[in-house]
Chain A
Amino acid sequence: MFRVIAQHQLQLDASSTDKALKQLLSQQIPQLPRRMDRLALLTLLLAAPFRGQLKPDCGIYLAADYPSLANMYALLDTVVVQQQLPKPFEFVNSVSNAACFYAAQILQLDGPNVFIGAGHAPWQALAEFAYADLHCHIVSEALLIRCWQGDNQLGGQVLQLAAGNWQPQQWLFSEFVAAM
């Protein structure tokens, strides 16, 4: 089923501001895209260590529990509460795969990208999408990103996978890491 190539984990202070996240990111990526929301910033922080390490057709599979919370709050406040038109970039960012787009851009990938709700078993969900593409030879590598934001959490975990013979039993991140 899989071969686990690399992994990355990140745990940040949940009270970190977006500005602090941008500063952290700018240490790794000289030219940042503009007007990214918190989910996109977090996704890039998780993806940045894989720059230059991935094949161009690598697929990106991103799971999160929520869309960017601050962005969704701002949209609801502007449109529903204040009855005004939103800022264009806030609306565009509310399409949650915006985070995938920015990740593909900084990683210089041109394969598929998919955003999914994390659900109860995020690693099984992500791995099934990746396996479908690996099995069908759509991609030769897969980058699986699991973001945590909200509920006093800010961070995530990343796996770089290829097709192989190892199969997870419980679909836990730790199990994937142990299989490296």
Chain B
Amino acid sequence: MTPVYLNQVHLQCALGNKLSDAAACYRLGETPQLQPGSDAVPAGFFAVPGTAPALDFRLHQLLRNTLQAAGLNAADCLLLVASTALNVSLLEQRLQQGEKLTIDILPAFDDFAADINAEFNFAAIRIINTACTSAANALLYGQRMVHAGLYQHVLVLAFEPPGEITRAGFSALELSSQSGLYRPFHPQRDGLILGEAYATAILSRTADKTTLAVLLGGYSACDTHNITTTAEDGSHIATVMLQALQQAALQSSDVALLKLHGTATAANDSAEHNGVMQIFGQALPALTVLKPYLGHTLGACGLAELALLFSSLQQGALPALPYADNASLPFSGSEQAVAPQAVVMANFFGFGGNNASLLLRRC
């Protein structure tokens, strides 16, 4: 598999509007302030700080800045869009402002692509929705399409705005944290906190001066056990991690750091714990979770979490997990330094049985 470099990585998230600022906050162990919910949807969420620009303005600006910084024309790039909510939040706003709901106003996926290409002229636009593995799959398919010679450059746009439907949906499933504490693998974990995020990266065969990491390979497959939960014995997760290692021509002993999916829901944490133990046994690599710092950014987490992780690694050591002593996996209670060129495995799982695992190397 041809390694592809993650260049021009941008992130706007609950820890900041700039990736380097967010990474600096994360390295200090800072967590975002919880935005309160509403009467209808009491669960709070982690919002991007500051006054929110309109979604389409924000996305166009992000794409424009990414392309300009890379010195690339849109026509030279495939655009892979990864999001579960896409632009439904815009429709939610129109309904909140009094517009009548009819079937006719429901947007087609192509409307979103047409809006993007009204300003840009991408070689092609593909909208991927595989739930919380959307961005992880965008990275994997971006790499495979470059490897197959279909495109020279792939721009991944991963985003998740704070939609009412998403927040209400997770509340209805009783997966949202009531305590407002986001603690994956903690014995008293009580669910997830959603996070807002907007991220971009350009995948290319060559590095540039902004390269954060190189994607070595990975694997993604569907577990047909249950539509909302993967097999709790971790067997499918273990299979996906093993296949990912094989695709990247690596062994488990090559992995220096494992970025867990870690949603802090009982079913996910238990299945991931079991899957990880099947692959690594007692020889566990260093472990980390990002969702306490970003929230669960759903379809965007595949890029948002990697952006925060690798930008932080460029700045220095990763912060200690405050509840490491109580966690069900051996997280570090002190700062963790990760060597240059170290291999990182990153897990992402989602509804619809989608499990994905990626292997990357620090640059």
Instruction: Please list the residues of chain A having a beta carbon within 8 angstroms of any beta carbon in chain B.
Output: 60, 64-66, 69, 72-73, 75-77, 79-81, 83-88, 91-92, 94-98, 100-102, 104-105, 108-121, 124-125, 128-129, 131-133, 135-136, 138, 150
User: What 3 pairs across the A-B complex have the smallest Cβ distances?
Assistant: A117-B109, A91-B169, A117-B127
Given A91-B165, A117-B112, A131 contacting B352 (CB threshold 8 A): no
Q: Are A117 and B131 in contact (CB under 8 A)?
A: no
Which chain A residues border B182 with CB–CB below 8 Å? none
Q: Are B144 and A119 in contact (CB under 8 A)?
A: no
Q: Are A76 and B113 in contact (CB under 8 A)?
A: no
Given A112-B220, A117-B110, A135-B144, A125 contacting B124 (CB threshold 8 A): yes
Chain B interfacial residues counted at CB < 8 A: 56
CB distance from A104 to the nearest CB of B (A): 5
Q: Are A80 and B92 in contact (CB under 8 A)?
A: yes
CB distance from A103 to the nearest CB of B (A): 9
Q: Are A81 and B148 in contact (CB under 8 A)?
A: no
Q: Which of B7-15, B95-103, B300-308 contacts A (4 or more CB under 8 A)?
A: B95-103
CB distance from B182 to the nearest CB of A (A): 21
Q: Are B109 and A95 in contact (CB under 8 A)?
A: no
Q: How far, in angstroms, from A101 to B334 measured CA to CA in the complex?
A: 41
CB distance from B123 to the nearest CB of A (A): 11
Q: Which of B21-29, B221-229, B269-277, B319-327 contacts A (4 or more CB under 8 A)?
A: B221-229
Given contacts A80-B96, A100-B130, 20 further A-B contacts (CB under 8 A): A65-B110, A66-B108, A69-B103, A72-B88, A76-B88, A76-B92, A85-B41, A87-B172, A88-B173, A91-B169, A94-B165, A95-B84, A101-B224, A109-B222, A110-B221, A111-B222, A115-B129, A115-B130, A116-B109, A116-B128
Given A77-B101, A112-B222, A95 contacting B129 (CB threshold 8 A): yes
Task: Select one of B107, B129, B221 contacting A111, CB under 8 A.
Answer: B221
Q: How far, in angstroms, from A138 to B143 measured CA to CA in the complex?
A: 13
Q: Are B169 and A101 in contact (CB under 8 A)?
A: no
Task: Select one of B106, B128, B172, B351 contacting A86, CB under 8 A.
Answer: B172
- Per-residue CB proximity of B171-205 to A under 8 Å, as 1/0? 11100000000000000000000000000000000
* Max chain B Cβ within 10 angstroms of own Cβ: one of A104, A109, A113, A133: A113
Task: Select one of B107, B130, B224 contacting A97, CB under 8 A.
Answer: B130
Q: How far, in angstroms, from A26 to B88 measured CA to CA in the complex?
A: 33
Given A86-B165, A117-B110, A138 contacting B128 (CB threshold 8 A): no
Q: Are A119 and B91 in contact (CB under 8 A)?
A: no
Task: Select one of A88, A118, A133 contacting B109, CB under 8 A.
Answer: A118
Q: Are B353 and A91 in contact (CB under 8 A)?
A: no
Q: How far, in angstroms, from A66 to B39 measured CA to CA in the complex?
A: 30
Task: Select one of B110, B144, B172 contacting A136, CB under 8 A.
Answer: B144
7 interchain pairs, CB-CB under 8 A: A76-B106, A79-B165, A91-B169, A95-B129, A116-B128, A121-B124, A135-B144
Q: Are B352 and A98 in contact (CB under 8 A)?
A: yes
B125 CB within 8 Å of chain A: yes
Given A115-B128, A117-B126, A132-B148, A80 contacting B352 (CB threshold 8 A): no
Interface residues of B in 312-363 (CB under 8 A from A): 350-354
Instruction: Please list the residues of chain B having a beta carbon within 8 angstroms of any beta carbon in chain A.
Output: 1, 39-41, 84, 88, 91-92, 95-96, 101, 103, 106-110, 112-113, 124-131, 137, 141, 144-145, 147-148, 150, 164-165, 168-173, 219-224, 227-228, 247, 350-354
Given A98-B352, A110-B221, A132 contacting B169 (CB threshold 8 A): no
Given A96-B129, A104-B353, A131-B148, A119 contacting B110 (CB threshold 8 A): yes
CB distance from B226 to the nearest CB of A (A): 9
Task: Select one of A77, A92, A119 contacting B127, CB under 8 A.
Answer: A119
Which chain A residues border B221 with CB–CB below 8 Å? 110-113
Task: Select one of A69, A101, A117, A138 contacting B353, CB under 8 A.
Answer: A101
Residue of A nearest to B125 (CB): A119
Q: How far, in angstroms, from A135 to B247 measured CA to CA in the complex?
A: 13
Task: Select one of A77, A116, A125, A128 contacting B129, CB under 8 A.
Answer: A116
CB distance from A87 to the nearest CB of B (A): 7
Q: Are B108 and A86 in contact (CB under 8 A)?
A: no
Which chain B residues border A120 with CB–CB below 8 Å? 110
Q: Are A133 and B144 in contact (CB under 8 A)?
A: yes
Q: Are A97 and B129 in contact (CB under 8 A)?
A: yes
Q: How far, in angstroms, from A145 to B41 measured CA to CA in the complex?
A: 36
Q: Are B101 and A101 in contact (CB under 8 A)?
A: no
Given A80-B164, A116-B126, A95 contacting B103 (CB threshold 8 A): no
